[in-house]
Amino acid sequence: MRGFASVTRELAVIALPPRCPGCGSVVRGDHRFCGDCWQSLEFLGEPWCAGCALPFAVDRGPGARCAACLRDPPVHAGIRAAVAYGPVARTVALRLKYGGRLAFAQTMARLMARHLPPGADLLVPVPLHRWRLWSRGFNQAALIADALSSATGIASNPLVLTRRRRTPPLRGMNPGQRRKAVRGAFAVHSRHGDAVARRHVVLVDDIHTSGATAQACTRVLLAAGAARVTIVCWARVIGETPD
């Protein structure tokens, strides 16, 4: 029986070989990128801003903050992203979200796991509105949070946050308009408030762009009693917001 199972797996690999999440070329294993796509990914890490975790080109010393955090300190404890937003990062996110490549949630989580902060207690995905969830069939942030939970043992709860109303696309809005668009859009579910009380919550998302959604979610989590909130995502826009 073992021999038959081994042959079956080998035939499956021949018929459906692992492919690069970025370009689709054949690679040596699942969740692996080809050489070109791997080299094009810009991996993020320290040194970074002590406020928002924006990567610095050079180490500015302990406690250094970027200009934006000096001007307007964030309510969260940093935005930790696996990679900078770019063509390959965007392709992987879109293939998960709109292409039904659900396994890519694990691909992202494998590279995000190293950025989970020490002492993290709970993973909470950014929620979709119920109509968006119904039409898409899944919440990509919840899939990523589940994959992170499986890899690290940190509990994930997709029911903590709810999106009470649909929000318009934030693309093209100025910061003030973005904040207004998401104001009051999120809430901590009454049945799950105890889950976040005095906890270090990790807010999980795929792409971090303007930060308006993350800030809105963070505020309601802190209001519900969370000790701190760190955002962990697959890709982060560095510089200008993408089209």
Residue 172 has what pLDDT? Answer: 66
Written as one letter, the residue type at 33 is F
Using an 8 Å Cβ cutoff, are 151 and 109 in contact? yes
Q: What percent of the chain has pLDDT over 90?
A: 70
Whether pLDDT at 4 is above 70 = no
Whether pLDDT at 141 is above 70 = yes
Residue 185 has what pLDDT? Answer: 79
Q: Which residues pair with 230 in a beta bridge?
A: 202
Give 40-98 pLDDT, tens digit per residue.
999 999 999 999 999 999 999 889 999 999 998 999 999 999 999 999 999 999 999 99
Query: Measured at the alpha carbon of residue 68, what is the angle toward residues 172 and 167, in degrees to the nearest 5?
Result: 35
Binning pLDDT at 50, 70 and 90, where does residue 174 land?
low
Whether pLDDT at 8 is above 50 = no
Q: Which ranges of the chain does DSSP label H, i.e. alpha helix?
A: 2-15, 35-40, 67-71, 87-97, 104-112, 130-136, 140-152, 175-182, 193-196, 212-223
Query: 169 or 9: which carries more pLDDT confidence?
Result: 169
pTM of the shown model: 0.88
Compute the distance between CA of residue 75 and CA of residue 72 in angstroms, rounded to an integer. Answer: 9
In the structure encoding, which two tokens stand for residue 16, read together?
């459906």
Whether pLDDT at 5 is above 70 = no
Query: Measured at the alpha carbon of residue 26, what is the angle toward residues 22 and 27, in degrees to the nearest 5?
Result: 80
Using an 8 Å Cβ cutoff, are 231 and 117 in contact? no
- Domain(s) labelled CATH 3.40.50.2020 in the chain stretch across 41-236
CATH fold group of domain 41-236: Rossmann fold (3.40.50)
Give 109-140 pLDDT, tens digit per residue.
999 999 999 999 999 999 988 888 788 889 99
Preceding omega of 74 cis (within 30 degrees of 0)? no
Give 201-243 pLDDT, tens digit per residue.
999 999 998 888 899 999 999 999 999 999 999 999 987 544 3
Q: Which sign does the torsion angle of CA 234, 151, 9, 138 carry? A: negative
Whether pLDDT at 175 is above 90 = no
Binning pLDDT at 50, 70 and 90, where does residue 26 land?
very high
Binning pLDDT at 50, 70 and 90, where does residue 25 land?
very high
- Closest to 181 measured CA to CA, from 211, 222, 160, 226: 211
